[in-house]
Structure 1
């Protein structure tokens, strides 16, 4: 753990003299219509308040976060991953190393070919797109960076932003929108495991007066995998249009089609009898005979922004996401693995496999209206944020087992039931035929087949917050209140409708000690509806969360680099965990869990040569109340006690080698919780550690970059011990070994 003296020294260095102090009062007081983060230049400063707060690209949030305020004076830990960083790290999807750029965030490596799981402060994170919650029971599908402009992580409840979300926080995907800059980019990426990817981004004015703007993104990817019989093909189509009706009003429309066909399904787990890493990294239970699982997703978004005057604005948004999947995976039969040699020629590691169905439908229909503005009472400034959020979410899935792999002819090794034997220590692939696979009847509708998983719920939420500013805006006190009402229907509670409601307050105090240094304290509550069938047949109760947080924020080097130091204490009630493989579709509900910790984030530009990202988090997240005393003290599955990441890039800014850059980074996680959690084994035996190195060259409109991930080829993994879900063996997922990516881009 970093020493306190080091943490404090980063934050209390002498402040930097602010530039551009000659702005007019009108410029300083103006609240602009929805800050467009795609146009912010990281080398320039922007004045956003009378306190003369200066911001850059990574300290101005997108308009979808509703703030209209520099993150320096926002009383919450919010981190921005911009397009520059996404490109430098060659991140292609939200499942690939995105979380390394934010303290206390982990990507859960599980079924990531479908939907990505991200944990913040030990709790599952909600998934927002353009400020609207599209999280589902399974879905939405993982985002491809072809349509992503930036990603914003908000730690803890965010009553100013959204109700009915996770207490640990959420991540907001900001999609690419027309900017009117008349820019076009074509790029190709090659890499390990036969990666081939091509993408085109066209950002264009569609009318000479600049009122009609358009943007078109298209991407195609074909990629193998380090694991046997695993790979995917993906296609993305993303047109968007913007109409500037007047200086004060604009309308935006977006459509995203994402299609992903992936081989191997979800058969990526490896099993061992004596410990982890017993088999090679490339092990899988899949076989070439299995058809790809097909997934596709349609997104429709519409936004209207209107400025009434310099002090008040209104934004209305609508979103619809439909995620579908159809396919099957090869899994090992539950606890069918031979733990030792036995009679009738049984060998240690022998196991039989089954075909499990991967059919799912997830839809989110969401809308919101919010207004932001200000007025004055005497010498006190009031900044108001108020809004209405509504949504309806539907989920149904069929995860049933179609049957085991059998060979009636007995040409392959079989057991007494005719099930084909597969040995984890000596796997054989490509010997199965179609007639050995069970035939599954899809003639019934998914609703009928997946009735046990079906859920339908809706919510509505209203919110108002008043931030009162004193002492020329240097002292800010905010109070807010949100009311949320939900309705849900599922197989739980005998199919009867269940209604819940809650009021959740939010209070904060922010002090602007200097124009580049702030101190804040925050108390925030959250309410989240939960959909799940408990073991007793009842409906899951809603979850309530409380967050107490204090933090220091400081900007450096002419406000181009920002540091955040945060301490927090989170509580969440009614934690849901899957009941186990032998109770599919059912959940267990724990009484209460807490997460407390310290976070440090450093992100930005030191000068024209150096870009830096560094973060560290100490996270203590565990169950604190439960009917079963054995569960108390158990870590939450999305937790690593210590997480540290860094990314540094040096670019030669002048001379004959101008445009040549070098980058290096690492990921480190220690004392990692297993998943599922086993009380007798708190941590995985190995830390996760990976080093990445890269080089790039930019000249005129051309750009070329090479990145090598996991340079040391370390065997990293996540997994579980015997006893988890009553398994009799070890299980784990290997994380990407050494690999490279080469990107070529041309702007025209």
Structure 2
């Protein structure tokens, strides 16, 4: 563990113990509103969970869209520590790697927005060029659980693809004192420590606080690849009156990583080259550094049992610095390694210095009204989102070839980034969106519920590029994008019918739009990409609400996609159109008091509805890197009788074959995971977790796999020991 872990773990402990009045007991809070959700917040999670889809406070069964929850119980049992690892367990989510970042897709489309307590921010790496984005995922341990809505969420999102939305619900202060955390150690020097303390700060518990400190340091199964991270999170709740809550909080996170930017090459013909899993073909000085500051506030006032006013604000300040020097021949002319040629060229040296400021604010009003002898729900909100991004790109040409079997990362000398550059460009990008939403859930009859809503949004985009140096020569050209203002009305229709008290049928339609930066031959930014999501399904609650089941049929269409202008290939036109169809099935919760299960299956097919290029013809597969079939399962069983202190879990993730834009094939595969937990007492437990326990060799799904790079081997077999404690 790095030196900072030893120091920072002690400081928050002392500070927190001083700040919080220590009581002689610990209380365990659980939520009864979301099945299998082991929560440690004072509030119910029912409200926040279902607001992710529509803005209304609805249960999973009442929500007319596909919704999943990655619970705290799943996170602990499987030893999940990142948003990425959590998404690998979520139904229908395809995790891919892009320019050193992990990105998420659902139903063949990217997930570009992540919400924190219902307020949107940009998903890490989701910009037009991931190398030029500075955002990073916050550590998973500041969140209580993550909600996943598959399909467009036009009522709650700012600007994004129609694939879906993540809502990460932060840990909030508790009314009773609790102190807990865990230590873990695993394969490849995977070390991690988490400290979490919460409770009242005054005698009548009207002021409460929570503090979380995290330190992590790990190597990788790949040589030279490593990452360390530190995160501090604090939040305060103030009961200004019995009906008014003020919440303020902040988070700081810093990480340093030596990433694998381009993976390994394939052999001639696009087949596995057989290079060891430990192969790293980057320089020792390559790095990816992130720094993130987050501040947020929320004010909630309950006028009565029916009417609630809520105001929220969230701000992120992000920085990233990337130095890239790695082997990778990413053009189509490279045919792969052969027995007589084991060399791959360096893909130049690149430097990206990025920063961004994001601000989101929302005021919402939820209430009820009576009409025609029935009570109905109404909601309205005003939302503002702004993102300002800056990026500097420096490039030094280097195409030296190295033998991949003998390559030494330390043999590549670090460049002088202030020396002889081939290129030095500066970018700015500014997007704002203001939106107003109004909707109602009309309870037509006892068993029929109709949700009608609309969101009117105005988006403004502009930016600039300064070409300081091009081709090694002073350039000085400045190009400013014309400011583009676009308005869009986004409708939402949802119908829910209760077949029984435990089973509901639903249908929904919603739309979404996303500003884009591509320009036409007149220099104008193209109209936003638009999309729509249609879905029908059935949901049930079994065994007294302990087990949730759902089945959904969906169709998404997206149009106005930027494609190359056939009359001027330097520009684009907004004429691309694609469609995705499929089925989602999920079972989650507890079959018995001792057996918890989470299982999800997704069938998905997509295609181009219009020809976008010679490679993307109408009728061909739009998302070849998305498996047609995906299945994810994890179950945890508490042993009976004399073995009641023991529990065991087993899981499997399986998918069918995939391809890439450049026809690099990956056959279907199955991965097995397992854990054994021993609860020594109520306050101490030990968990041994194994991933990929059959040591399956496979390549991660990736849209741009090519013979010369972007081929990333999945993690081999690993083991992790985790010790959870609480006071």
Length-normalised TM-score, structure 2? 0.84
The CA deviation at 1:671 is 3.0
- The equivalent of 1:440 in structure 2 is 417
**Cα distance between partner residues in 2 of 1:470 and 1:198:** 52
Is it true that 1:107 corresponds to 2:95 in the alignment? yes
The answer to whether the 8 Å contact 1:64/1:130 transfers is no
Q: Residues 512 and 339 of structure 1: is their aligned pair in 2 closer, same or farther, counting only changes over 3 Å?
A: closer
The answer to whether the 8 Å contact 2:211/2:233 transfers is yes
**Cα distance between partner residues in 1 of 2:35 and 2:712:** 44
Query: Which residue, 387, 390, 413 being the options, matches 2:384?
Result: 390
The CA deviation at 1:157 is 1.9
The CA deviation at 1:59 is 6.5
**Cα distance between partner residues in 2 of 1:44 and 1:339:** 52
Q: Deviations over 1:229-272 (max 9, x none)?
A: 10011000001111111221101111111111001463545454
**Cα distance between partner residues in 1 of 2:707 and 2:264:** 15
Is it true that 1:280 corresponds to 2:280 in the alignment? no
- Secondary structure at 1:617's aligned position in 2? strand
Q: Once structures 1 and 2 are overlaid, which stretch shifts more, 643-652 or 632-641?
A: 632-641
Is it true that 1:740 corresponds to 2:719 in the alignment? yes
Q: Residues 84 and 578 of structure 1: is their aligned pair in 2 closer, same or farther, counting only changes over 3 Å?
A: farther
Is it true that 1:599 corresponds to 2:565 in the alignment? no
Q: Once structures 1 and 2 are overlaid, which stretch shifts more, 513-522 or 353-362?
A: 353-362
**Cα distance between partner residues in 2 of 1:524 and 1:180:** 39
- The equivalent of 2:443 in structure 1 is 469
**Cα distance between partner residues in 1 of 2:558 and 2:512:** 9
Is it true that 1:427 corresponds to 2:407 in the alignment? yes
Query: Which residue, 477, 481, 506 being the options, matches 2:454?
Result: 481
The answer to whether the 8 Å contact 2:626/2:701 transfers is no
The answer to whether the 8 Å contact 2:547/2:589 transfers is yes
The CA deviation at 1:111 is 4.4
Is it true that 1:74 corresponds to 2:68 in the alignment? no
The CA deviation at 1:313 is 0.5
What is the 5 A alignment of 1:145-294? 145-264=140-259, 266-278=261-273, 279-288=275-284, 290=285, 292-294=287-289
- The equivalent of 1:552 in structure 2 is 538
Q: CA RMSD in A?
A: 3.2
Query: Which residue, 621, 626, 630 being the options, matches 2:606?
Result: 621
- The equivalent of 1:300 in structure 2 is 295
- The equivalent of 1:49 in structure 2 is none
Aligned residues: 662
**Cα distance between partner residues in 2 of 1:45 and 1:284:** 41
- The equivalent of 1:713 in structure 2 is 695
The CA deviation at 1:399 is 4.3
Query: Which residue, 363, 371, 383 being the options, matches 1:369?
Result: 363
Query: Which residue, 22, 32, 40 being the options, matches 2:31?
Result: 40
The answer to whether the 8 Å contact 2:329/2:344 transfers is no
Is it true that 1:634 corresponds to 2:627 in the alignment? no
Q: Deviations over 1:648-669 (max 9, x none)?
A: 11012x5332231100001111
Q: Once structures 1 and 2 are overlaid, which stretch shifts more, 325-334 or 89-98?
A: 325-334
The answer to whether the 8 Å contact 1:273/1:349 transfers is no
The CA deviation at 1:636 is 1.9
- The equivalent of 1:693 in structure 2 is 674
- The equivalent of 1:413 in structure 2 is none
Q: Deviations over 1:572-631 (max 9, x none)?
A: 11335899xxx99x9886611111101101110112210001111001122212343641
The CA deviation at 1:731 is 4.2
The CA deviation at 1:449 is 5.0
The answer to whether the 8 Å contact 1:59/1:80 transfers is no
**Cα distance between partner residues in 1 of 2:307 and 2:540:** 29
The answer to whether the 8 Å contact 2:659/2:666 transfers is no
**Cα distance between partner residues in 2 of 1:111 and 1:592:** 26
Runs of 5+ in structure 1 lacking a partner? 1-36, 47-55, 405-418
**Cα distance between partner residues in 2 of 1:189 and 1:168:** 34
**Cα distance between partner residues in 1 of 2:628 and 2:314:** 37
Q: Residues 565 and 528 of structure 1: is their aligned pair in 2 closer, same or farther, counting only changes over 3 Å?
A: same
The CA deviation at 1:686 is 1.4
**Cα distance between partner residues in 1 of 2:65 and 2:29:** 22
Query: Which residue, 567, 588, 608 being the options, matches 2:593?
Result: 608
- The equivalent of 2:10 in structure 1 is none
Q: Residues 578 and 146 of structure 1: is their aligned pair in 2 closer, same or farther, counting only changes over 3 Å?
A: farther
The CA deviation at 1:530 is 2.4
The answer to whether the 8 Å contact 1:59/1:72 transfers is no
The answer to whether the 8 Å contact 2:693/2:717 transfers is yes
Is it true that 1:403 corresponds to 2:406 in the alignment? no
Q: Residues 728 and 540 of structure 1: is their aligned pair in 2 closer, same or farther, counting only changes over 3 Å?
A: farther
Is it true that 1:684 corresponds to 2:665 in the alignment? yes
The answer to whether the 8 Å contact 1:616/1:643 transfers is yes
Q: Deviations over 1:288-342 (max 9, x none)?
A: 3x16432111111111111111111011110111121113021236458976999
The answer to whether the 8 Å contact 2:149/2:166 transfers is yes
Query: Which residue, 513, 516, 530 being the options, matches 2:499?
Result: 513
- Secondary structure at 1:158's aligned position in 2? coil
- Secondary structure at 1:88's aligned position in 2? helix
- The equivalent of 1:5 in structure 2 is none
The answer to whether the 8 Å contact 2:35/2:545 transfers is no
**Cα distance between partner residues in 1 of 2:368 and 2:420:** 58
Query: Which residue, 413, 430, 438 being the options, matches 1:456?
Result: 430
Is it true that 1:123 corresponds to 2:92 in the alignment? no
- Secondary structure at 1:245's aligned position in 2? strand
Query: Which residue, 92, 96, 112 being the options, matches 2:85?
Result: 96
Q: Residues 45 and 196 of structure 1: is their aligned pair in 2 closer, same or farther, counting only changes over 3 Å?
A: closer
The answer to whether the 8 Å contact 2:394/2:417 transfers is no
What is the 5 A alignment of 1:4-15? none
The CA deviation at 1:684 is 2.5
- The equivalent of 1:17 in structure 2 is none
The CA deviation at 1:80 is 1.1
- The equivalent of 1:14 in structure 2 is none
- Secondary structure at 1:146's aligned position in 2? helix
Q: Deviations over 1:694-714 (max 9, x none)?
A: 100122200110111001111
**Cα distance between partner residues in 2 of 1:142 and 1:160:** 23
Length-normalised TM-score, structure 1? 0.82
- Secondary structure at 2:405's aligned position in 1? coil
The CA deviation at 1:363 is 2.3
